[in-house]
Structure 1
Amino acid sequence: MVTPVAPEISSALDHPDPRQAVERVKDVVQRRLLDVYPTARIVRTDFFNHTYVPDLLMTWTSGTRRAERRVYLRASSDPALLASDVQLFEREQQPLVVPLAHVAPGPSRARLETVAEERHTLVLDPSGLGALPARTPTRTATALASDAIVEGGRGIMGEHQVERFLHAVGSGVEAAREGRADPTRLALSEVSRRTVPDVSRRMSTLMAAMWQGSGRSLSDFPADVPHQSSLDETSLSLLLSSPEITDEAFWRRIQPLVDAKTLLRTDITDTPNLQRLMRSAVQVWKGHVCMVVEREAAGAGTRWRWLVDHGHLGLRGPGFVAFLAASRKDLDTPDDYEAPLLAEVRDRAGRFAIPLTSIRMLMTNRSIGYDAPGEDVTHDPQLDGISAALGQEEGVVEAQALTPTRIPLRCNFVSRTASPPGARALVPYAELLGTTLHLFLDLDDDDARLLDNLLDSGEPAPARWEQADLFES
């Protein structure tokens, strides 16, 4: 739906006080830009129609990257005058020029188009500004195209050009996901012409990933293959914030193009597509440590979901979040929890068939260790005697558990952290999470089934344990 911006600008300019008229015009443009891109921050300057100083400064973040765009309001819509102004701007600043009236057609407009494209400047007339869709919670392919215009559009765009771009790119992203060449090619052409190279490359990378996710080869991609075939944080954000893609085969093909480090650099927190990605990644991605922290129980329908919380990847369950990381230093300092009784730990280990090769218990100020390297001690009758002698009040502070593929994990019940021996040893998330949560938490049968289902991607498990390269940067 087109928002009529031109009448609002005309009404604002009718104010008898020129300074108030300028502020009212800035109100209109700022309000409209924030409708379209509400995560941006817009700061006004004290200038209007200045040659070099912008009227508004628009900034936003994308993952860890901070970006900005200077917004220049222009009282004249004469294309010759606008072309002269655009030639004075710094190309690297990628300016956004908003003339306060429609830019007339003709030879001068064609020259302005050429100059604006060369100078990486977007001349967005009031009809084009009004044609940009307001942001909605659902990040459709059309919304991604709208963001591309705001972040890096170039050339002249009125209502017709904006609508053409939104339709072509929105249709092209969907077509790439289905492996259809012609609409994908048209979208790539529009993106290349209408956006600056950085945004064009990002959108092309996204469509190339969609293309691969459809099962098509990159050799059939209807354009030059982007230099970076894997998804960077911005492209991944676009994908994970788009409408839910339920095709599991798509995510299995996308997963090799993504890693946990890239995910943590995005601005994604909790989306349906994040759940889909993690279902494919949980048996492939590897971490060194799992830390379980108590959180208020999630509402109905939100139990057992993946999330990214302040740069940490975690699995949220009823009353807790289990965070995963490649290094202990990547996580916050753990809280201390009450040590469970030996009987509780043995019961959980037996219930979920988790071998325990060593157990360290604490009784007041005395520590007791019991171990048999490589052998399961969970059901040893000697433990019954130890427990009886201690009045069944001994708390388990630490145990070494074996995952289903016999990877040893040191499980600290007081800090609720678990990791394999060796500072850089890595374990697949499914192994790390499954063993840790089954031991640390008193899961009921329903939650245990939900967890097992969440950690089972339906794919054959890859090679399990690895020691990271000691000289890895």
Structure 2
Amino acid sequence: MPGSPLRDAIADALNQDSPQDVIDDVKSAVIAEIENLDPAVQIKKTDYFNHSFAPDLVLTWKTAARKEETRELYVRYSLGSSQAAGDVDILGKGGPIFFSLNSSNDDEEFAGSIREELMRAPRSLFTNAPAIDRITLDAETEEPQHRDSPAPPLLNLFRRNVVRGGRGLIVANVAERLERSTSTDVEEDFLYVDRFTEAVSGIFDEAATLRLRRAADLVKIALSGEVSILDRPDDGDDGVATISGKLDDTELRALLPFLLDRGQSIDDVRFWQHLGQMLTLAQLENMASTLSDHDLTPLAQANLPAWRAAKAVLSFNADALEEEGYQGPRWRMHGGSLCASAGAWNIHFASDLRRGLRSREDSTLPRWEKVLPSVQSFSVSKVELQGITRRISIAADAEAAVNVLGDVVSVQGNIDDTFFVRSVEVRPAGEESADVNLDFSTLMATGANVPVDYLTRASLGVLGHRYPVSPADMATLLGETQADAGT
């Protein structure tokens, strides 16, 4: 195969005059390729090379539960030499990786002879430079016409699981089965996903196999629109659905852009709700740059009551000034955060108060009588009024279900002063979230564990009262009928 950097690097290393240079260069070549497969893995060199029982490299990583796991890697000149040395019986109990520098035993005859041995060490992985070359080169040579194909996201996840969960025999013929087709035909896409699912069976541990099957099923739904796949039970005895659990950051980066683009025609909200339950708002923020060109509207609308945020900042939507530039109500990632756009406003959300969102510091405070109509549909727990000669705070007890609107109206009517509103606190009904503070000087809403849909209504409805969003646009933004949005 032309252009094989790992094999070229190994060939150059083996031609060095100094034995130590050979060892150092071979290890450096293998390390570079492992880092290409899984950048999150930490790699430690040992003082040994091609030793009978001491590893050449020790790989360490953190699981999704922050647990540290390790795996040893043994460099061998060929898989045949590893077989002859009895590596499986001597070293296989710990589930290591045996990495061959060449492909002299990369054939079906060798595979058949070693499978029986591998059954005695089911967690061990035998692989070689040509196989790893094929897997990594496919990532490096991705072309634009393939980016709407299911191959890139699935291959990406395959690569990320080789080091941590690979087992059995991964040689060049496995990589060949995973090579993408140049066809843009939808039927060919389905065939590829089936080929991928078949290829990964038996060459990954149980956890990695489940992750890869789950990824393939999500891709199938995006391709076909068949949301009923979500209800399909696992093949196991427990009957648990395969598409469940949380996606980690690596899985999200690989899958979400594809699912958003190819799944745009899916109007069954169950798919988007299910996908939204597999991720968090914080994860979206961590991969905001990856998603900046993607429309998040169907995903966001389906999960607004479930997603929680701590802060929202209102800012002017410059696109609304131009008819051609305004794209209507929508959800996207912008400026490193989830962003809703409707009418004259953008709202940027943050999952944590510590996440920096730029806000104004000097917005003009509105008069109370201008704010009153916009807060009447909310349960108001506190109001801070700024008069010409005095400052007044009216608040309900933290535990009391009291709306202080009547008190504010009474006080304002009995004191001869002109009152402006510094802030209002509103209380979500039946929610575990804290009261939401709406600050008119910064156009910022803050609270703990607040549903994103509530923050959206409060930000646009109260802080954005000067330029109200139409009921139709509010309904579109929230994914509701206009009648629902008005309740």
TM over 0.5: yes
Corresponding position of 1:469: none
Q: Which amino acid aligns with 2:417?
A: A
Give the equivalent residue in structure 2 for 1:205: 214
Query: What do residues 219-258 of structure 1 show as CA deviations (whole Å, max 9, x unaligned)?
Result: 7689556555423223556532546334252672323434
CA distance in 1 between counterparts of 2:332 and 2:91 reads 47
One of 68, 71, 74 as aligned partner of 1:72: 74
Alignment match, 2:458: 435
Indicate how the Cα distance of structure 1 residues 333 and 281 shifts in structure 2: closer, same or farther if over 3 A, else same: same
Return the offset for 1:15.
0.8
Residue number in structure 2 paired with 1:99: 100
Q: Distance in 1 between matches of 2:303 and 2:194?
A: 34
- Decide whether the 8 Å contact of 1:205 with 1:231 is kept in 2: no
Compared with structure 1, are the counterparts of its residues 210 and 71 closer, same or farther at alpha carbon in structure 2 (3 Å cutoff)?
Answer: same
Other-structure match for 2:385: 361
Once the 2 structures are TM-superposed, how far is the Cα of residue 97 of structure 1 from its aligned partner? 1.9
1:292 and 2:312 correspond: yes
Q: 1:308 to 1:396 in 2, by over 3 A?
A: closer
Match of 1:34 in 2: 35
Who is 1:257 aligned against?
A: 274
SS in 1 for 2:455: helix
Compared CA separation, residues 402 and 156, structure 1 to 2 (3 A):
closer
TM-score normalised according to structure 2 size: 0.68
Aligned to 1:396: 422
Q: 1:283 to 1:11 in 2, by over 3 A?
A: closer
Aligned ranges 1:3-22 → 2 under 5 Å: 3-4=3-4, 5-22=6-23
The 3 A distance-change label for structure 1 pair 374 and 430 is same
Alpha carbons of structure 1 residues 114 and 201: separation in structure 2 relative to 1, 3 Å: farther
How does 1:83-94 map onto structure 2 within 5 Å? 84-91=86-93, 94=95
Please tell me the residue identity of whatever aligns with 2:122.
R
Match of 1:471 in 2: none
Cα 1:462–1:442, aligned 2, differ >3 Å: closer, same or farther? closer
State whether residues 349 and 378 of structure 1, in contact with CA within 8 Å, keep that contact through their aligned partners in structure 2: no
State the alpha-carbon separation in 2 of the partners of residues 277 and 231 from structure 1.
21
- Which amino acid is the alignment partner of residue 426 of structure 2? Q
2:287 to 246, 262, 269: 269
Structure 1 unpaired stretches of 5+:
325-329, 466-473
CA distance in 2 between counterparts of 1:3 and 1:298 reads 48
Distance 1:198 1:100 in 2: 28
Q: Which residue of 2 aligns with 1:233?
A: 247
Q: How many residues get paired?
A: 437
Task: Report which stretch shifted further, 346-355 or 56-65.
Answer: 346-355
SS in 1 for 2:8: helix
Give yes or no for contact 2:180–2:192 (8 Å, CA) kept in 1: no
Task: Give the match for residue 456 of structure 1.
Answer: 478
Deviation, 1:99, is 1.2
Amino acid at match of 1:232: K
Residue 53 of structure 1 and its aligned partner are, at CA, apart by 3.2
Note the alpha carbon deviations across 1:285-327, whole angstroms, 9 max, x for none: 154x6423699x99999x9634898xxx854889974224xxx
Alignment pair present for 1:147 and 2:157: no
Secondary structure of the structure 2 residue equivalent to 1:343: coil
Answering whether residue 414 of structure 2 is matched by residue 411 of structure 1, we say no
2:177 is aligned, of 142, 157, 164, to: 164
User: Which secondary structure state, in structure 1, belongs to the residue aligned with residue 228 of structure 2?
Assistant: coil
Task: Give the C-alpha shift of residue 128 in structure 1.
Answer: 0.7
Gaps of at least 5 residues in structure 2 are 320-324
Q: Residue 54 of structure 1 aligns to a residue in which SS?
A: coil
Partner of 2:322: none
Rounded to whole Å, the distance in 2 between the matches of 1:395 and 1:265 is: 32
Q: Deviation per CA, 1:70-99, whole angstroms, max 9, x where unpaired?
A: 32211344256367113333545x422211
Identity percentage over the alignment? Answer: 17
Cα gap change, 1:264 to 1:85, in 2 (>3 Å): farther
Alignment correspondent of 2:349:
322
> What RMSD over aligned residues (CA atoms) do the two structures have, in Å?
5.3
SS at match of 2:350: strand
> Is the CA contact (8 Å cut-off) linking 2:304 and 2:453 kept in structure 1?
yes
Question: Structure 1 384/308 Cα, relative in aligned 2: closer, same or farther at 3 Å?
Answer: same
How far the C-alpha of 1:107 sits from its partner, in A, is: 5.3
Q: Displacement of 1:437 after TM fit?
A: 4.9
User: Residue 264 of structure 2 is aligned with which of 247, 250, 260?
Assistant: 247
Once the 2 structures are TM-superposed, how far is the Cα of residue 384 of structure 1 from its aligned partner? 8.0
